Amino acid sequence: MTAIDWMQLGLIFGFTVAVGWPLGRYMARVYGGERTALDALFGPLERALYRVAGIDPAREQDWKTYTSAMLAFQIVGLAFLFTVQLVQHHLPLNPAGLGPVSWHSAFNTAVSFVTNTNWQGYGGETTMSYLTQAVGLGTQNFVSAATGMAVFAAVTRGFTRRSTTFLGNFWVDLVRTTLYVLLPLSFVLAVLLVSQGVVQTIGPYVVAHTLQGADQTLAVGPAASQVAIKQLGTNGGGFFNVNSAHPFENATALSNLLETIAILAIPVGLCRTFGVMVGDERQGRALFAAMAALLVPLVVLVAEVESTANPALVALGIDPASGNMEGKEVRFGTTASAVWAAFTTAASNGSVNSMHDSYLPLGGLIPMWLIQLGEVVFGGVGSGLYGMLLFVLVAVFVAGLLIGRTPEYLGKKVEAYEMKLAAIGILAPAALVLFGTAVSVVAAGGRATIFNPGAHGFSEVLYAWSSASNNNGSAFAGLGANTVFYNVGLGLAMIVGRYGVAVPALAIAGSMVAKKTVPAGPGTLPTHDVLFVVLLAGTVVLVGALTFFPALALGPLAEQFALAGGAP
């Protein structure tokens, strides 16, 4: 890596924190019900929505009612999106005359966008009409992100309140997140992206005349508005098949920088939101530090790996200084591509500006492992932080065992009930990854579309199940995943991966909110200092290493050793 590469890394990190940290304080005001600068604009709309829906914003819910409301909303959204795809050929805003989506692809896509995974087994411009993309997928880009942030707010209240049963109101958290956070941010980003050449139109596809005299049809559409919320909401689904590698989604170096920052801006900000809401900003800074301590070295490592050329190509005379440019856009280069790959897999985003399947084995291993850690290294909006809180409980429980004292976090005792739920939330997605991969490589339906033999084909399958089970959505795209086997299997994995973490987190919040605060004593573990940051980061790494190292050894590590040994 050159000095310019290091400068580029520093600027991206610096801008992301500079945007996210002040945003975190603003989001704390939103979830605290405080007045904001946008009240005059959105306040009347917010109150009108409550009246129309018959919602009493002052009526709070316990964890079971909150969870039931959240799940009911998700089921309705899934049914709506599934139906829209099946009948899109009868609906307006379909200038390309696209037909209905197959039932299994429609199921997979509906689950994918409702769970904020945004895994795609199809090409957007050749499968989905404008109306399906904007009304169906676009709506879920907002409300699935808002759902994760609402659950985060409820879980946080579980640690801040005491001797009660109420965690807030799901409908209020959902509406306020959408109106006061996601909509204004998306509007500003969409305008900036349009200024850079990202398309935004409901007009028909454009026919261009090439230099060779032929006609070429260029797919366009309302892309900028979708791109803005897909990045800010850590959704990641591409309007076009090649996602943010497409110049109509990501046109310039500036649009690439804006979209990269948008991926982590809200997850970074939510660390501060947590600190403000619990009344101790040091707690938020500790969570941020643990996440950054995990992310920064991995970003540097993947950038360093991809700055070296494939040894097999060097042997054929390729300049090693060019790096591994296979699957990458020349206008971004290896560093900006590698940073995006790490950001999008550290967050529950899944958008790509380069093809991860073309990374060198170690370069591809890092994004895959970031997903497998549970999408908690900042993670998705809301979901990353409440997922990290499960690891926090494990860390303080282990520390408590070491000193022979009942563990505590933020003045609340962590007992066996919370630990069992935390274990479920951490292990359920991991079990799905390993089980799904094992079934795929032995079942005829899974093997039928593994087109790359050996270790790389195994890596593609392992990546797919890691991405679906941990709500990421990116892929090693060499796998043929648009089949009944993978659409149904990965769809079920997305459901368990999303709600198998969210529901235990809400149950923990329901248990914690009823407890009294215990005064800190001599044996209380401080959860805001460097020691705790190291303990928390170490817990995440240890769980990830013990769970996935054997599988990684069969895939990217085996491929790396083969490449080093001279294999093509």
Q: How far apart are CA 360 and CA 313, in angstroms?
A: 12
**Rounded Cα distance, 14 and 296, in Å:** 12
Q: What is the pLDDT of residue 8?
A: 87
Mean pLDDT of 556-568: 82
Indicate the average pLDDT of the chain. 93
- pLDDT at residue 231 above 80? yes
CA distance linking residue 467 with residue 374, whole number of Å: 10
pLDDT at 566: 66
Residue 501 sits at the vertex; the CA angle it makes with 513 and 143, to the nearest 5 degrees, is 90
CB atoms within 10 A of CB 395: 25
Q: What integer pLDDT is reported at residue 568 of this predicted model?
A: 58
Q: Reduced to 3 states, what is the DSSP secondary structure of residue 128?
A: coil
Share of the chain above pLDDT 90, in %: 82
What is the per-residue pLDDT for 213?
87
pLDDT digits (tens, 9 = 90+) for 443-459: 999 999 999 989 999 99
- Predicted pLDDT at 309: 86
Return the residue matching tokens 């795609």.
Answer: 120
Q: Which residues of 551-565 are buried (b: 16+ CB within 10 A; e: fewer)?
A: bbeebbbbbbeebee
Q: Please state the rounded mean pLDDT for residues 475-497.
A: 95
Q: Residue 335, Cβ neighbours under 10 Å: how many?
A: 24
- State the DSSP H helix or E strand holding residue 149, giving kind and residue range, or none if neither: helix 138-160
Coil vs helix vs strand at 248: coil
- pLDDT of 523 > 90? The answer is no
Instruction: Determine the average pLDDT of the residues in 207-231.
Output: 91
pLDDT of 194 higher than 80: yes
Question: To which H or E segment does residue 171 belong?
Answer: helix 170-177
Q: What is the DSSP string of 8-38?
A: HHHHHHHHHHHHHHHHHHHHHHHHTT---TT
Element (H, E) at 409: strand 408-409
* Distance, CA of 256 to chain centre: 18
Look at residue 422 in the predicted model and tell me its pLDDT: 96
Query: What would the mean pLDDT of 185-198 be, rounded to a whole number?
Result: 97
| pLDDT tens digits, 105-162 | 999 999 999 999 999 988 888 899 999 988 999 999 999 999 999 999 999 999 999 9
In this model, does residue 272 exceed pLDDT 80? Answer: yes
230 vs 4, which has greater pLDDT?
A: 230
Give the model's confidence band at 493: pLDDT under 50 very low, under 70 low, under 90 confident, else very high: very high
The answer for residues whose C-beta is within 8 angstroms of residue 50's C-beta and 6 or more apart is 56, 57, 171, 172, 175
Residue found by looking up tokens 């209240």 in the block:
157
pLDDT of residue 511: 96
pLDDT band with cut points at 50, 70 and 90 for residue 5: confident
Arithmetic mean of pLDDT, 180-190: 97
pLDDT of residue 465: 97
Mean per-residue pLDDT for 310-332?
A: 84
- pLDDT tens, position by position, 342-396: 999 999 899 999 999 999 999 999 999 999 998 899 999 999 999 999 999 999 9
- Tally Cβ neighbours within 10 Å of residue 252: 16
Alpha helices in 233-252 (DSSP H): none
Asked if 206 contacts 217 with a C-beta cutoff of 8 angstroms, the reply is yes
Cα 136 to Cα 143: distance, rounded to the nearest angstrom: 11
Looking up tokens 């987190």 gives 505
Note the pLDDT tens digit of each residue in 275-317.
999 999 999 999 999 999 999 999 999 999 999 888 877 777 7
pTM of the model: 0.94
Q: What share of the chain is helix, strand, coil (3-state, %, to 5)?
A: 65, 5, 30
Q: Are 418 and 512 in contact (CB under 8 A)?
A: yes
Question: In angstroms, rounded to a whole number, what is the distance separating the alpha carbons of residues 72 and 70?
Answer: 6
Q: What pLDDT score was predicted for residue 567?
A: 61
Q: CA-based angle 511:517:520, to the nearest 5?
A: 130
Which helix H or strand E contains 168, and what residues bound it?
strand 166-168
> Does the pLDDT at position 520 exceed 70?
yes
Burial level of 326, CB count in 10 A (0-12/13-18/19+)?
middle
Instruction: Write the pLDDT tens digit of every residue in 406-436.
Output: 789 999 999 999 999 999 999 999 999 999 9
- CB atoms inside a 10 Å sphere around CB 498: 26
Would you state the pLDDT for residue 116? 95
Chain-centre distance of CA 562, in angstroms? Answer: 32
* Amino acid identity at 166: F
Cα 282-284-153 angle, rounded to 5 deg: 135
Q: pLDDT at residue 563 above 90? A: no
Q: Over pLDDT 70: what percentage of the chain?
A: 99
Supply the pLDDT for residue 329: 92
